[in-house]
Amino acid sequence: MEKRAVIAVILSVLVMGIWLKLFPPQKKLPEEISKQEIQKKVTVVGETVKRKEIKAATEPVAEERQIREEGKDIIVQTDNILVSFSTIGGGIKDWSIKEKGAWTSLVLKEGESAPLDFYKEALFEANREKLVLDETYPQGEIIFTYISQGEDLSVVKTYKFEKDSYLVRLSIEITNNSKIQERIETFTLGWEAGIGPEEVSMKKGRGVRGIRPLLFIEEKIEKKIKIKDDEIKEYKGKIKWIGIDNSYFLIALIPQEKIFSKASIEIEENIPQVKTNTVFDLKPGETKNINLNIYLGPKEYNRLKKLGNNLEETIDFGFFGTIGKGVLFTLKFFYKITGNFGWSIVFLTMVLQVILLPLTMKSFKSMQSLKKIQPQINTLRENYKDDSKRLNVEMMNLYKTRKVNPFGGCLPMILQIPIFWALFTTLRNTVELRHAPFIFWIKDLSAYDPLYILPVLMGIVMFLQQKMTTTDPKQAKMVVFMPVIFVVLFLKFPAGLVLYWFVNNVLNLTMQLVIIKQSEKKEIVQVSK
């Protein structure tokens, strides 16, 4: 029985071991913006204006030309985001989010005029130079206005913000000021700036997925789009939204009007670019209003679920998705109590042990029964070593006579496999556990233990378990071999996953000791009688 269980465990873990080898861990920490840089970003506009005012007294013409050519940065800061706009094109230059108390930039290619490729070289006028939202001012907007010189179109872009939201509402107004009908053929909505931080987006570490393009078309999200460099894929149909993501973050451009029916995806410098465009006519004096929601932030399940549009489906919970969602829900529940995802994993393990307790107890009792008849099994193997068929028949008769199920100890292990895999997937794909600390040296449960203490402790506990349950001399080597294999495989696994398996083994070992003591007491009582 022990041999079959060992083989089952090896096969179940082998897949994860191969996966880990294909996607080795990334040691580099994410690039973050320091508080000093944040302050510099927020105040740079005001400082620039002061310098320009002083310099304008001596060089007014040159300074005016410089502003027109270079444009100005407009800064917006809320509880969650720090955005830098440019008056050139009225587009986004940089977008940072507050993550674990620090700012992290999610734009890989700065300077791209996103999210519109329409009048992206034009110089807009902004209604303010910075916007800071707080409890006093929970909502606000930035308005960019362009009136063409020698042309007959005016464009107004209005970005609306809320202090505790990653969602920004963008309204575009295009007005035909001429006396003839104008045809707009180049109105393109897209995102070319990638998504960061860099170590998550450009490299595959800890099983982290790189950037992928996304397209919600004909009521279905296209998530597995394969595309090569310098290749362009085009799509036609009812487009609900376009975007890109990685394991932890998402950019989604969600048009509020159903006017887009074409989209294209291409790769440039390993960064996917998604675009959708439309064509429309403007009568003399007519104004076209196009509304758009922009989400650029973490892939938090509950937050994305509330926004609708199936955005929560971008979170990868793996093959056992339903179990993965249950694991995340339970971890977040315990987090509200403990304030620490490490202890949440400990409590989750304990709850699972309680649920599986009847099966686990039955498994341990089955192993104890097998242990008692091990000498008889060894005798049968010796007597029928040259007749495998007769050996199997005699062993089955022995199991039946002694009422022992040789496979009784395997069921709890089999049930643990989907839970184990769901937790593995949840740890590497949910932003809630990114950089989540536990205790002392473990600063990130989604990364491997930097000191390898947890894997070694787990191996020691496994060794004790094997030593207690193995009686067959032929399996003596397996007692040492199996824990060593598990330690090697788990060295680069997320610390949270190793913590789960370690606690699980400790609880199992404790129950084994209890059952052994109870069994010994029963034998003493029977002998005394």
The amino acid sitting at 434 is R
CA distance 483 to 464: 9
Q: Are 62 and 83 in contact (CB under 8 A)?
A: no
CA distance 235 to 240: 12
The amino acid sitting at 157 is K
pTM of the model as a whole? 0.74
The mean pLDDT value of the chain amounts to 78
- pLDDT tens digits along 176-194: 988 889 888 888 888 988 8
CA distance 256 to 259: 9
- pLDDT tens digits along 384-443: 777 778 877 877 877 777 777 666 556 666 777 888 888 888 887 888 888 889 988 999
Three-state SS at 271: strand
* Lowest-confidence pick of 199-203, 305-309, 410-414: 199-203
The DSSP call for residue 438 is -
* Lowest-confidence pick of 189-198, 222-231, 336-345: 222-231
* Lowest-confidence pick of 97-106, 110-119, 322-331, 454-463: 110-119
pLDDT band at residue 374, thresholds of 50, 70 and 90? confident
Residue whose pair of structure tokens reads 């940065």 in the numeric block: 73
Among the residues of 266-410, which ranges form H helices?
301-307, 321-338, 341-355, 357-372, 374-383, 388-401
Domains of the chain: 2-25+323-524 (no CATH), 35-50+71-315 (2.70.98.90)
